[in-house]
A and B are shown apart, each in its own frame.
Chain A
Amino acid sequence: MEWNNDFLLNYDTSFGDLDLKASVGGNNRVVKFESSSINAGGLNAPNIFSIANSQQLSASQSLSEKEVNSLYAFANLGFKNYAFLDLTYRTDISSTLPVGNNQYDYISAGLSAILSDMIDLPSAFDYFKIRASYAEVGNDTSPYQLSRAANLQNGGFIQLSTSAPASDLRPEKTTSLEFGFDTTLFNRVNIDFTYYKSNSFDQLFRQNVPQGSGIATKFINGADIENTGIEAAINVGIFTKGDFQWDVNFNYAANRGIVLELAEGLDQLNYGGSFMRDFRLDVGEPFGSMYSRGFVRDAQGRVIMNDNGTPAVTPGKTVNVGNFNPDWLGGLTNNFTYKNLNLRLQIDMRQGGDVISFTRSVASSDGVLGITGLGREGGIRFGTDVYTDETPATTANSVDPETFWTSIGGRNAPVGEAFTYDASNIRIRELTLGYSFDQNALASSPFKTVKLSLVGRNLGFLVNESGVDPEAIFGVGAQNDGYEAFSLPNTRSVGLNLKLGF
């Protein structure tokens, strides 16, 4: 349940070339989740879905409540309809933070100007707008983090919570700075460009501490994680001649995340993972590093070999095997129109970033990948037959493929480095061939427009090194990025689309 009490007062006025719109508001927000469930494990009499008919009843209940009081104000100042200044201010008081340190406020400011209306620009510029903004966002946390709980368990046992209380939590804060422009050139080229830099401070982490300390995790405030990037979209009308028209749209996005600071006295932080890999933040390193078991290497980077022909591997997930973030993402769309026919081709590109495949790890130890067929008679050699880009430090003895693949693959202690792939790929995202019926032909029908299209989506990869679909990751959230585990690949779909307009 969410309960909001709001008020908002607006003020609107003009002085000469200046327009002012100002508002002041307040909000009281109560968010409350309550759930209780009763589960009937098996029925005594079939098909009677009644609690009284249950063989084994189990019940659970949960509650979460928080309240936030806010005050805010915003103003928009316009000059001659071509320059605008937006200012906002907000303060929040949250019940989830320690009393005495539970208020946080944030501001934003934005300036935009349509230069093409303000000054004389070369005639090539039909339209040119620039913008700059600065914004802060604050955040509280979830309820009940400030004291150590003792949980009631089924059967009456009482279990101490494994998280230490965080009695000195501070609100999280993110600041972002953005510059950009929109322009139209020669009546046929549109460019939209943005540069941004955002910093996240005082993020709340659940830090893993030595379990011998009496707690497993501890909430801490800290970090300065900086993201900088650009986003651009370019739309070009390549040419128009008679009934033929060709437009090209290209968009591009690149982001760099870097960990500038963690909490005091902390220069690395594990924030989750699986049997296959952990994610770790290292001060001064890019955000998104994945750590797994890897090959043991000598000073020259050559792989140390075991006598039985398998590579030596690290016992812990201590090798940085890659980063899940791409260098850049791009999309290219070509749109051709001739009379009533329309052909649209969208190609998506991803450059850089890595993906770890749990699927390939398990499949290799089960001997069902094509490569595991190699050397079933006579054995394989590391560096020669498999992992040919690696150099063994000593002569790699021949090993039977079962021993080899079960030693590095599998489910429980896989060597992630051996199953990390470049996630770069180029895929045909969509191909559409459409036909719009003549309006004349529709005159006697009830429809204004009729368009029939053949649409193919995810038609295939033009380039893909990884052997899996790098987009088919395990789930959402940073902890699942760059991790592929028996995910269904995106399906190819081909369909007919009929669009009727009335």
Chain B
Amino acid sequence: MKIFKNFKGMVIGISIFSIAVMAVSCDDDFEEINTNPLQLSTDKLASSDVLLGQAFAQATFTSNMGLHWRFQISQSLFSDLWSGYYATTYVGFDSDRFTQVGGWADLAWGSFYGIAAPQIKLVEDIATENGNSVGASMAKIIKVNGYSRMTDYWGPVPYSQFGNEELKVDFDSQESMYTSFFSELDAASSALSAGGSSFGGSDLIYGGDASKWKKLAESLRLRLAMRIRYANPSLSKTEAEKAFNSGALITSNDDNAYIAVSDDNRNPLETITDWGEFRMSATMEGILKGFNDPRMASYFDPAAAGDQDGDGIPYEGLQNGQTKVALGVSQNPITSDVNIFYRDAAAGGSNPPIELMQAAEVHLLLAEAALAGYSVGGSAQQYYESGITMSMQERTSASAGDIAGYISSNNTPVSYDGGTTPASTDIPVAFESSNTERALEQIITQKWLALFPNGWEAWAEARRTGYPKQLPRVQSDNSDVPVDKIPSRMTYVNSEFTTNSEAVNAAVSSPEIGGQDKNNTKLWWDKK
């Protein structure tokens, strides 16, 4: 052809050849170009305990909904309200009238399954592979804590199949999950008995101390054992007594499990208080005021506008379930915000660590165990009183005399609005050992006070026991949950129906849900 007979054609031919060579040889750098030098890849984590520790720190933080907005859409807008700690004051939020806002619930689900759960699995898998049994046990405990929170919200959830990287992930029944939790805690607790440490300063709870982690494992066992008291009494008794007999419970405030926070990873409650969207509930006001409880001033601040109901005490709660019309006028000035201790640092708050489990809760769990006839080395009354003492010592500066006076007081909850409406209940602080049901109400009401601000756990216990008795909502927008009840569970989230429909539909029709994917369907352990 003519084209190759002239000089230009030669140049074309040579150029094509040289460029082609260049293109092929460049392939080698392409892999390097396509690797981001600013990013870690997972294979680097396995070779460094420090890096794995920082991944574990993230697992701990996120599995307890550590980031402000994740905390808000998962806990603050659901269980914190349904447990009766706070009432919503923001007109745009419907969950205080028992509407399970789907978008929030979806994000709550994703905050655990999309963020925390892969992290937990990553750390447990790598630590196990590296023969780091302390680190693997710590990851197991965080796993049991995280998944128990999820199943206590929803019922059956993905657990044993988590991380299968398939398009279908089956749900586990709540009953089987609890059985698995106990055996995971068995494994962790026995591995931790050998002592040692892992992750050092990256462990936000105990600085890597295996002996303290064992205490958290056994205390968690006790919590979960009491949760299944009405669903499987014999397993409940076995596990609760096993926890007690381990001799390794969090019985002293020195061993309390707090998740350390920093300026970068803050206590989420501290950040969201700045948004001014919730205030002390009326139920809380009536109980704290009626008991003349020293924790009132530690948990809450006086209302900015002072005393509203004429009792001379400037702490004011708001009845839950306010209508949109009522919330159209700001209720914030006339109601109590959480104490400045929990508030935004800019407002003078102190960014406190996140409460995971405290001695007061353990004592009150033991009180209930004793009341149920379990053999836990003391009477219900002894543990009830030591539980209150633990809480007072940890949360207030009350003197030993003040605490003793509180424990023996016959004060009962009062009306929150100066007598217009009745009080939520009539139990005194002083323990009534002669009446088992009233004693249970006293134990759980005190535990509710001690757990504050852990609404996630408080809502689970409120569902299981029916305590504390809460004032009715002003209005419910949910036909399944009337004003004098609280929701029994979260309904499954939309994203599961779009991405995992076969599995979620199987969970809905499983015996535990019985085809009733509703807010008033009781969970497996909710059998009192």
Q: Which residues of A contact B (CB under 8 A)?
A: 7, 9, 11, 13, 22, 24, 26, 28, 56, 61-67, 69, 71, 93-96, 99, 102, 143-144, 146-160, 162, 164, 208-216, 265, 270, 275, 278, 306-308, 315-318, 365, 402, 406-407, 410-413
Contacts and interface: CB of A to CB of B under 8 A. Distances in A.
B26 A162 contact: no
Contacts of A67: 26, 29-30, 33
19 contacts: A11-B12, A63-B38, A93-B23, A95-B30, A149-B41, A150-B41, A155-B263, A155-B264, A160-B55, A162-B114, A210-B168, A211-B495, A211-B499, A212-B158, A214-B163, A215-B118, A270-B498, A278-B498, A318-B497
B26 A69 contact: yes
A315 B167 contact: no
B27 A99 contact: yes
Given A148-B41, A164-B165, A158 B36 contact: no
B103 A144 contact: no
A202 to B, nearest CB: 19
Given A212-B158, A315-B491, A158 B55 contact: yes
Contact of A152 (B40, B92, B165): B40
A308 B479 contact: yes
Among A155, A212, A318, the most chain B Cβ lie within 10 Å of the Cβ of: A212
A210 B477 contact: no
B122 A71 contact: no
Contacts of A160: 42, 55, 118-119, 122
Contacts of A365: 324
B34 A95 contact: yes
Interface string B104-138: 10000110011101110110000000000000000
Interface residues of B, number: 83
Contacts, number: 218
A95 B33 contact: yes
B329 interface: no
B33 A26 contact: no
A475 B274 CA distance: 30
Contact of A406 (B11, B168, B263, B477): B477
Contact of B167 (A96, A209, A412): A209
Nearest to B171: A212
B482 to A, nearest CB: 12
Contacts of B169: 210, 212-213
Nearest to B92: A411
B36 A150 contact: no
A144 B22 CA distance: 23
B324 A406 contact: yes
Contacts of B15: 7, 9, 24, 26
Contacts of B497: 316, 318
B57 interface: yes
A315 B102 contact: yes
A412 B78 CA distance: 14
Contact of A214 (B35, B44, B99, B121): B121
Contacts of B103: 275, 412-413
B51 interface: yes
Most buried by A among B8, B34, B162, B499: B34
A365 B57 CA distance: 42
Contacts of A213: 162-167, 169
B410 to A, nearest CB: 44
B285 interface: no
Nearest to B328: A366
Interface string B9-40: 10110011001101100110111011111111
Of A26, A61, A156, A317, which is in contact with the most chain B CB atoms at under 10 Å from its CB? Answer: A156
A208 B495 contact: yes
B34 A402 contact: no
B8 A158 contact: no
Interface in B342-363: none
A154 B496 CA distance: 31
Instruction: Tell me what chain A mostly uses at the interface: helix, strand, loop, or mixed.
Output: mixed
A227 B441 CA distance: 67
B234 interface: no
A158 B45 contact: yes
A144 B34 CA distance: 5
Contact of A66 (B11, B33, B94, B113): B33
A214 B26 CA distance: 35
B34 A211 contact: no
A315 B491 CA distance: 9
Nearest to B112: A211
A2 B157 CA distance: 48
Contacts of A407: 477
B190 interface: no
B57 A157 contact: yes
A212 B41 contact: no
A28 B19 CA distance: 9
B253 interface: no
A99 B22 CA distance: 15
Contact of A155 (B19, B26, B262): B262
Nearest to A410: B94
B509 interface: no
Given A93-B26, A159-B115, A160-B42, A210 B500 contact: yes
B171 to A, nearest CB: 8
A413 B45 contact: no
Given A99-B27, A215-B165, A406-B324, 14 more contacts: A56-B263, A61-B38, A144-B39, A154-B264, A158-B51, A158-B58, A210-B168, A210-B503, A215-B118, A306-B479, A318-B497, A407-B477, A411-B92, A413-B99
B265 interface: yes
B115 A99 contact: no
B499 A208 contact: yes
- 5 pairs of A and B residues whose beta carbons are closest in the complex: A155-B264, A212-B158, A210-B500, A214-B163, A212-B169
B407 to A, nearest CB: 41
A217 to B, nearest CB: 9
B179 interface: no
B347 to A, nearest CB: 15
A147 B39 CA distance: 11
A294 to B, nearest CB: 13
B180 interface: no
B265 A155 contact: yes
Contact of A150 (B8, B19, B55, B496): B55
A65 B33 contact: yes
B113 A212 contact: yes
Interface in B280-314: none
A150 B51 CA distance: 10
A62 B34 CA distance: 14
A159 B30 CA distance: 26
A389 to B, nearest CB: 26
A214 B34 contact: no
A275 B496 CA distance: 15
A318 B517 CA distance: 16
Contacts of B477: 406-407
B142 to A, nearest CB: 14
Contacts of A209: 167, 499
A310 B31 CA distance: 59
B54 interface: yes
A152 B167 CA distance: 28
Contact of B8 (A11, A102, A159, A316): A11
A9 B3 CA distance: 13
A162 B42 CA distance: 12
B42 A413 contact: no
A69 B22 CA distance: 9
Given A7-B15, A93-B27, A160-B42, A211 B8 contact: no
B101 interface: yes
Contacts of A275: 102-103
Contacts of A215: 118, 165
Contacts of A11: 3, 8-9, 12
A307 B31 CA distance: 63
Nearest to A22: B3
B183 interface: no
Contacts of B524: none
